[in-house]
Structure formats: structure tokens, C-alpha cells
Structure 1
């Protein structure tokens, strides 16, 4: 029974590795430092056409992911955060206005 479970994990791992090779997601800049009160934009692009949406997350050190936006097209805003998504161009941006110390985090985009 342990062997069957091990084989299932291996198949799942290989499947996930194969899927991730098809889609390449890139963010820029890779890191940045800004002063309190400044604004910044983080860009996300991907290589393959997707059928779902794009999601932006933030992650504080030692914490789990927090969903910021889920977009299928257009633009959404939540307070000082705004995200735009253009599926045709395979591009999204996350804009932070009037940055505050609490905005210090890792920001990630993901596509379905």
C-alpha cells in the first residue's frame, strides 16, 4: 500500500512539473525599495494563453498568502491598490499609491 501511495505522489509531481513547463510567468521588477508616500507598479506577464483569470497575492514574512485581486479582464481597485489586466497582451500590473510601511511584503501574480 505504501508503494501505491508513493507512485501517486510521483505522478502528481511529474504532472505539476509538466504543466509548469508550459506556462512561464514573469514579474518585474524582481525587487524594489521605495519611500513612504511614493507610488510603484509591479508588472506580470505570461507566455501561454489562459482560459481563466489572473490573481495577485501578497505575503508577509512568515505568513500565508493573502489574495488581493482576481481578474478576468479590465481593472479593479481596492483602496490604494489598483490592478489592470489585459488578457490579449498577457500582461497585468499592480499599482500601489502612497506606499505605507504596512505594504512591505512579497507580491506574486498567478495565472490559471
Structure 2
């Protein structure tokens, strides 16, 4: 996304980490969305394989919580966290953050999150 300020182009970067997150069922984790400039709001979305985008949170200042999900924002420090508590198989999805700076909405890289039973070896791998 290119921003214009006083006729000068500046690149606005939005990064989300980790890129892939594999959780053991019942564990807790978080995703982070970072922006290279001060932000005014953050949106978090979830998308199940083959499904539509589901809006989870829209935040401008205060933390929000929905069930086992919680999101925080720091507009000054240019980041937002999405926390997943007591992960369940239904949490397996791709999560997206989008940030707003002035009138611009910039999508970030996404995080694929899978909640799996890690007591079993991953597909294609043999146990000892």
C-alpha cells in the first residue's frame, strides 16, 4: 500500500506473525499484527477452509473479548494482538488483520492457525 504525504510516496507495511501456528488442543496462543505507521483501528477476521470471512473484532482503543478470543490494540505502538484461549479444533482457520490509517484500509499477511492433537505425528510422518 502506498501512502502519499506532501507529494512523497511512502510504503506502509503490515505484517502478521506467526505465519503458521500449530496449537495443541486446549493450549493458549496469540497472533500479532504490526504496522509501520500509527494506526487508527484494527479489524480481525477468521476464514474457515472454503468459507466466508467472519468478522471477529473491530477496535479503535479498548480490548475486546468474545468467548475464548480476545483482542487488544495499541494505536501509538502500531500493533494488535489476537489471543486464543483453550484452543479447540473449530479454531483451525486462517486469521487476517486489517489496519486503518487515516482513510486507508490495508490488509496484512494472514496466519494459518491449526488446532491439532499433537500427541499424534503430523500427516506423512512416522512415529518412532
TM-score range, shorter chain: 0.7 to 0.9
Q: Which has the higher strand share?
A: 2
Measured after TM superposition, the shift of residue 22 of structure 1 is 2.8
CA distance in 1, matches of 2:24, 2:14: 27
Q: Gaps (5+ residues) in structure 1?
A: 1-16
When the two structures are superposed, what TM-score results if normalisation uses the length of structure 1? Answer: 0.78
Match of 1:49 among 9, 25, 38: 38
Matched, 1:36 2:25: yes
C-alpha RMSD of matched pairs (Å):
1.4
Measured after TM superposition, the shift of residue 32 of structure 1 is 1.0
Q: In the alignment, what sits opposite 1:90?
A: 78
The structure 1 segments of at least 4 consecutive aligned residues displaced by more than 3 Å after TM superposition are: none
Q: In the alignment, what sits opposite 1:23?
A: 12
Q: Gaps (5+ residues) in structure 2?
A: 4-9, 101-128
Aligned residues: 94
CA contact (8 A) 2:44 2:58 kept: yes
Measured after TM superposition, the shift of residue 74 of structure 1 is 2.2
CA contact (8 A) 2:43 2:97 kept: yes
